[in-house]
Each structure stands twice: as C-alpha cells, then as structure tokens.
Structure 1
Amino acid sequence: MSNRVHERSMEMDEEGSTKMKMKVKVQQLPTKMKKILKNVWKVGKDDPRRVKHALKVGVSLTLVSLLYLMEPLFKGIGNSAIWAVMTVVVVLEFSAGATLCKGLNRGLGTLIAGSLAFFIEFVANDSGKIFRAIFIGAAVFIIGALITYLRFIPYIKKNYDYGMLIFLLTFNLITVSSYRVDTVIKIAHERFYTIAMGVGICLLMSLLVFPIWSGEDLHKSTVAKLQGLSSSIEACVNEYFEEEEKEEEISDLSEDIIYNGYKTVLDSKSADEALAMYASWEPRHTRHCHRFPWKHYVKVGSVLRQFGYTVVALHGCLKTEIQTPRPLRGLFKDPCVRLAGEICKVLSELAASIRNRRHCSPEILSDSLQVALQDLNTAIKSQPKLFLGSNQNGTVSQGNSGRHTTNVTVSQHIHKDTNDATSRQTVTRLEQNTGTPRGERMSRFGPNVSFSRLRADTLERRSAAATSERKILRQQLSRIVVLTSLEFSEALPFAAFASLLVEMVARLDNVIEEVEELGTIACFKEYDNSVDQKDVEVRVEKPADLVVGLE
C-alpha cells in the first residue's frame, strides 16, 4: 500500500514539474518570437538587396506556375511544366553573374545531352533489341566515365561543373528511358522547352529587374577590405597607447573594430574567387565593365591577406602575458602614432583610388612616412638601456672573452683573500693552543702535534671558505642576470610591436604595386588632385584625430 502511495506521489511530482516546464516555455515564447523577428529584420537591414532578391524569386515562381494554372498553356506543354518551376528554384541566384553561370550551364547541358541522346537513338533504332541494349549500355558507360573524368579538370570544374552534371543526368534519363518508352524524344523536347522558359525568366529577372552585379560586389569588397585594415591598425594603436583608466571603457568596442577589420580580409579568399568567376559571365552593364580585370582583384585580395597577417600579429601584441609598462610605452608614443597614421593614410588613399576608379597619387608614399620611420628609429636608439641592458650590466656581458677574464680575475682575488684569511686564523689558533711565539712555530710543534694533520685541516678550511665565497659571487651574478632579463622582457613586447609597424611599411609597397597594376589594366582615370580634394582632406584629418585621441 505504501509503495503505491509513493509511486502515486512520484507521478504527481513529475506531472507537476512537466506542467511547470510547459508554463515556463509558454512565458518565454514572446521573448523568442521577438528575437526571431529581430534577426529577420537585421538580415534585411544589413543588405536590402536580399529583400529585392526574395521578391524577384517569388515573382519568377508565380510566372512559371502559370504554365500549370492556365489551361491553354498546360495543354500545350503538359506535365513537363514542372521542369520550369524546378529550373527557377535551382537557377535563380542572388547575383546576375551567378544566374547567368548556372542558367547557361543548365541550358547548354540539357541541349547537348538531348542532341547526343537523339543521335544514339537514331543509330540504334534499326538494330535488334539485344544489340540496341548493348549499344545503349556501352554509350552510357563511355559517356558517364568521360564526363566524370572531365569534371576533375580545374578549369572545367570551376566554370562548367554544373553544366556537366546536368548533361550527365539528362543524357542518362533520355538514353535509358528510350529503350522502353517510344515517345521519350518528344518528352525530351518538351522538357527542353520548359527548361528554356525557366532559364529565360530567370535571366530577365536577374538582368532587368534590380540587377545585382558580382563585379560591383567584388569591387566594393576590395575597398571595404582596405578600409577595414586601416581601421584595425588605428584601433590597435589607440588601445596600445591608451591610458589604463580609459582602456577598460573602450576595450570591447576597439576589440570588435580590430577583429572585424582583419577578419573580413582573412576570410575573403573563397568569396573573391567566386565573385571573380561570376563577374566574368556578366555582360557589359557600364562603360567600365568590359575593362575590369576581375581576376586581378583576386591578386589584390591575396596581397591584402598577406598584409592582414601582420595586423593579426599586431593585435596579438595587445594580448601577450608580458606587457611593456605604460610609462615605457609613453616614451615611444608619438613616433608610433605618427607612423601608424601614415600607414592608415596610405591604405585610405588606395581605397579611394579603387572606389573612384582613378590612379592613386604619385606621392602616395610621402616624406612624412619616412620621417616617422626615422623618428621611431631615433627614439629606440635613444633608450639603449631598455633593449641592451645598463652600462654596468653590459660591462659584465661584453663577449665571452671579457666575461671569462672578469670571472678569472674575481676568482683569483677570492682565492687570495681566502687563503690569507685562513692562514692567519690557523696560525693564531696554534699560538693560542701551544703558547709558542710565531717565529718559533716550525720547530716547536711538540709531540702531540701532527704536521700532516695540521696541513689537511688548513686545506679543508681554505676549500670551505673558497666555496662559500664562490656561492656568494654566483648569487650576485645571478641577480644581475635576472635584473637584466626582467628589463629586456619588459621592453621585448614593445620591440615586437614596433617591428610589426615597420613590417607594415615594407609590405605597403606590394599593396601599392598591385593596386597600380590594377588601375593600369582597368584603365583607371588619371589622378586629379582638385577632383579628390575632399577625400584627401578626410584622410589628412584622420591621423590628426588619432593623435588627439591618444594624448
């Protein structure tokens, strides 16, 4: 009886806990719905073109559905109208280049596969049933193996892989079905017409209704990567030289700016290659489009990734366990800030050059950059104790020969002083024990005194004293080494930070060369200082703001 009551109580407890959980979930439902709606709104707000693309897909699907919904169209096409719907779902992509690539691949793959299947059907039509089966099987094997092997070729895989897949699927469906179905060629014709209708609707919607060009996206992404790197460098220098009280307030914000700035660059390889491939399919839609070498944008992106690795390392200097004290950083604040400002100025000018499709200034590497480098070098040389140790420590560590000579000299003095002190102590004890004057100690040891034992005792005492003195010397030298190491370890993080800034200046040449080559191939406009005076003023003010913010 008690067991039943206990089981009943447990069931009631479980039922109560289940109801409580359901109640909590119901109470949390409005919060979850708000979060979902917020995310949905954010997707459209970040890129309004996504809303336009969704509307275009909806309109396209409605148009191809009329092949089923309208009776005259359905009688003319029949059940093959479903292929038009499938084509719109598969082919209509976000950008015009991607739609052209997939649409033309699908259309050409279907056309070539249908033509080849019709030819095989024509050849095998008059033969016997057994020979026809063997011929179709052999054709399927040869074509299937050949097309699959061709898909491994990099150029074909990159540009025509989808078309190869559609060709292989369509060819096998038509060829194998023709052995049992007599009207398969008619069905193939109907499917080809419906697929062509679907592809045509997709192309019209992509090219004429709010077109989205992959080339423009690649162009804008290159500009955004240059600006992101500039923002990351600026935020890194801000945080590195910021005062400790202010650092806690802006650390989270600067962390996001730094990370987002170089993350876009490092993760852009696959996106750049895809955009460049789709841009190569797009027709000329502006007077500049036919001149743009989209593949060279990929090279610029590769150089920017190499530059971005240095920015990542610069960001890592902010996260190291051993940090240079802020008073020491302040000694080099001004040259570092000016050097970072000049780097940001160059990156901003390169971004403006690509954005406006014009060549960059011939004096993009100004004298100010060289002056900032020299000032940083001078500031580092003016503090040799931080990087090379103090003069006293440097004397101790001037080469192996000097260190060996110093150690030998110190050891000789220790042994000499120790021997003299030990000898004097031993003689004094003998005089006290025997009462013999010092001048007569060699002939009056007495019968109970052993000369060998006395000598051994003396040597033992000398050895113990020398060992004690060597330990004291080693401890002193160890303290000197530790102090020197601590001074160097404090200065080492800043040395890494400064060397990365210098490395950025060296890598700027590669970025400038690629951008200039891009401008030459793409026939950018010549540099005009009067036209771009506004952009120049913005870029000049940026380093000044950086200096004010750090002071």
Structure 2
Amino acid sequence: TSQEDTLMGFATWEPPHGPYRSFRYPWNMYVKVGGALRHCAFMVMALHGCILSEIQAAEDKRQEFRNELQRVGVEGAKVLRYIGEKLKKMERINTTENILQEIHQAAEELQSKIDKKSYLLVNAKNWAIGNESRDLTDEYKISNLDEDLSRILAHKSQSEAILRPPTNWDAVSTSKSPNSETIHHQPQTVIQKQPSWPSRISLAPGSMLQPQEEEEATRVMYESASDLSLATFASLLIEFVARLQNLVRAYDDLSQKANFKEAVAK
C-alpha cells in the first residue's frame, strides 16, 4: 500500500498527456481499485491454502458440493478477466449487462446447497445432543454438577440476604439489635469457601483416558477437522464473491471520474 501511495504521488506530477489529459486526474482511484483487487487476492490465497492442506474432507462430501463450488470459482474468474480487459482498454462497464448476475446466482445456489446439506459439514453423530448411549460415568458427573450448582445458588442467596442493605434505616435503628452470636456466625457464611466448577476431562496425552479412548478421541477430532475444512472453503468462496462486488464498484467509480470511453457494443 505504501508503494502504491508513493507511485500515486509521482503520478500527480505527470504532465497531462494522452488519456490522462483531464484536470485533476483521479490517480487515487487507481489505488482504491488496487486495494479492492488485493483483498480478492487474499481470499484466493486462503482458498489455495485450503486446497493444499493435509486435512481434507471425505471424497463423497466434496463430490456433493463440487458443481456449486466449481461454478462460483469459474464465474469469479470471468469477472476478474472482464475487469482486467476493461482496465487495459480504459473502457467503462457496459450498462446493459450485469456482470455480477451469474456469480450471484452461483453463490445463492451454493448457499442453498449448504443449508440443505449442512449435516455433511459437521460430525453430527458425535454431538452430545441426541446421543442416547451415555455411560454411567457421564450421568454421575452430571448429577454431581447439578448438586454443585444448587450449592452455589444457595450460598449466593445467603450472601445477597446479608449484604443487601435495608430500605428503611429508621426501622432498623428502633428495632432490637441482634445478639452477638448471630453477628459472629453471619460473616462466616459469607466468607465460606464456595465449591468450584467441575473441571472438564482433558484429552491431552498422559490424562486419565485409556489408550483406546485416546485413539477414538483423536479419530473424532480428525473427522471434525476434515469436515470443517470443506465448510471453510465454501465460506471463503462466498466471501470472495462479496469482495469481488467491491472491486466492480471501485472500477465503476474510476471509469466515471477518469472519463473512460464508452464500452463498444459487440
């Protein structure tokens, strides 16, 4: 960005010539177009990183979204080539055609496919919700957690009852003062140590998990990561479409302020 700003500063001192003969030529709009194009390039680099990643989704899941993903990529490449050709010829975008219509339709189809097949992008069989095969140890931990929560709420109610100031101080001054035993025992209730929240089970090596359980946990995490890679790729493509729209808008502003020639009808 700093290099582009430096080049823009040099360009402002250029004498008017050729297609740049207009007064106060909008050189800064070229920097804006370059910034929008750079943001699109960032998304392409992120997509390339997902493709080269070692963790990939299963083949059947990739085939399920193949057509929609491929169409978004093809239509996005067409828009980029179109903008490049127009900038090279210094022509405006043809007002009779919507160059973003096809890629928007492709993105909507991809989003609709994700909504319908969202269960393929997550490891639903390992969710705690709907899992009826829970062992007795999990039920025991849940029962202990409920008991701890009830004790925490009980201590909280006692503390609030002691620390809440009365609304009428005159009534308190005329009432009978409490005895010394009550005053002696109430602070102990407030400062009594409250039970801590039960810690979660660690999946790190050397924990309480058995070798078979640790291997199963590793397999589950790998499956979740592989499914997440496909969801990440689809999300990056949709974000690429949004940034591509910003590029088209920036080029349209440049073509109007720089007085580009009208597009030649084919």
Q: TM-score, normalised by structure 2?
A: 0.61
The alignment status of 1:513 with 2:249, answered yes or no, reads yes
Deviation at 1:324, TM superposition (A): 2.6
User: What is the RMSD of the two structures over their aligned residues, measured on CA atoms?
Assistant: 3.2
Aligned to 1:365: 100
Aligned to 1:272: 4
Aligned to 1:349: 82
Match of 2:65 among 332, 346, 363: 332
1:121-155 CA-partner distances (Å, limit 9, x unpaired):
xxxxxxxxxxxxxxxxxxxxxxxxxxxxxxxxxxx
Letter in 2 for 1:491: D
Q: How does 1:65-104 map to 2 (within 5 A)?
A: none
Match of 2:39 among 293, 306, 313: 306
Deviation at 1:506, TM superposition (A): 0.9
1:22-53 CA-partner distances (Å, limit 9, x unpaired):
xxxxxxxxxxxxxxxxxxxxxxxxxxxxxxxx
The alignment status of 1:490 with 2:205, answered yes or no, reads no
Q: Distance in 1 between matches of 2:61 and 2:88?
A: 40
Residues 308 and 378 of structure 1, relative CA distance in 2, 3 Å threshold: same
1:480-528 CA-partner distances (Å, limit 9, x unpaired):
7555433322222222211111111111122122111111111122334
Residues 411 and 515 of structure 1, relative CA distance in 2, 3 Å threshold: closer
Q: Distance in 1 between matches of 2:225 and 2:36?
A: 33
Paired residue secondary structure (1:308): helix
Deviation at 1:478, TM superposition (A): 7.1
Match of 1:501 among 234, 237, 260: 237
Q: Distance in 1 between matches of 2:246 and 2:139?
A: 57
The alignment status of 1:380 with 2:114, answered yes or no, reads yes
Deviation at 1:410, TM superposition (A): 8.3
Q: Distance in 2 between matches of 1:350 and 1:482?
A: 47
**Contact 1:386–1:488 (CA<8 Å) still a contact in 2?**
no
Residues 486 and 384 of structure 1, relative CA distance in 2, 3 Å threshold: farther
Identity %: 31
**Contact 1:343–1:505 (CA<8 Å) still a contact in 2?**
yes
Paired residue secondary structure (2:18): coil
Q: Highest Rg: 1 or 2?
A: 1
1:135-186 CA-partner distances (Å, limit 9, x unpaired):
xxxxxxxxxxxxxxxxxxxxxxxxxxxxxxxxxxxxxxxxxxxxxxxxxxxx
Residues 479 and 385 of structure 1, relative CA distance in 2, 3 Å threshold: farther
Which protein has greater RCO, CA pairs closer than 8 Å, 6+ apart? 2
**Contact 2:65–2:113 (CA<8 Å) still a contact in 1?**
yes
Q: Distance in 2 between matches of 1:382 and 1:483?
A: 26
Q: Distance in 1 between matches of 2:132 and 2:58?
A: 34
**Contact 1:386–1:487 (CA<8 Å) still a contact in 2?**
no
How many residues are aligned here?
194
Q: Would you identify which runs of 4 or more consecutive aligned residues in structure 1 move more than 6 Å?
A: 402-405, 474-480
Letter in 2 for 1:275: L
**Contact 2:86–2:93 (CA<8 Å) still a contact in 1?**
yes
Deviation at 1:405, TM superposition (A): 10
Q: Distance in 2 between matches of 1:339 and 1:297?
A: 27
- For structure 2, list consecutive stretches of 5 or more residues without a partner in the other structure: 141-209
**Contact 2:104–2:241 (CA<8 Å) still a contact in 1?**
no
Q: Distance in 1 between matches of 2:72 and 2:44?
A: 14
Q: Distance in 2 between matches of 1:346 and 1:339?
A: 11
Residues 522 and 485 of structure 1, relative CA distance in 2, 3 Å threshold: same
Residues 271 and 498 of structure 1, relative CA distance in 2, 3 Å threshold: same
Residues 383 and 485 of structure 1, relative CA distance in 2, 3 Å threshold: farther
The alignment status of 1:286 with 2:18, answered yes or no, reads yes
1:175-213 CA-partner distances (Å, limit 9, x unpaired):
xxxxxxxxxxxxxxxxxxxxxxxxxxxxxxxxxxxxxxx
Q: Distance in 1 between matches of 2:111 and 2:228?
A: 15
The alignment status of 1:316 with 2:52, answered yes or no, reads no
Deviation at 1:479, TM superposition (A): 7.4
Q: TM-score, normalised by structure 1?
A: 0.31
**Contact 2:122–2:227 (CA<8 Å) still a contact in 1?**
no
Q: Distance in 1 between matches of 2:120 and 2:222?
A: 10
**Contact 1:350–1:512 (CA<8 Å) still a contact in 2?**
yes
Answer 1 or 2: which has greater helix percent: 1
Deviation at 1:375, TM superposition (A): 2.5
- For structure 1, list consecutive stretches of 5 or more residues without a partner in the other structure: 1-268, 413-473, 531-551
Residues 316 and 524 of structure 1, relative CA distance in 2, 3 Å threshold: same
Letter in 2 for 1:523: N
Q: Distance in 1 between matches of 2:107 and 2:93?
A: 22
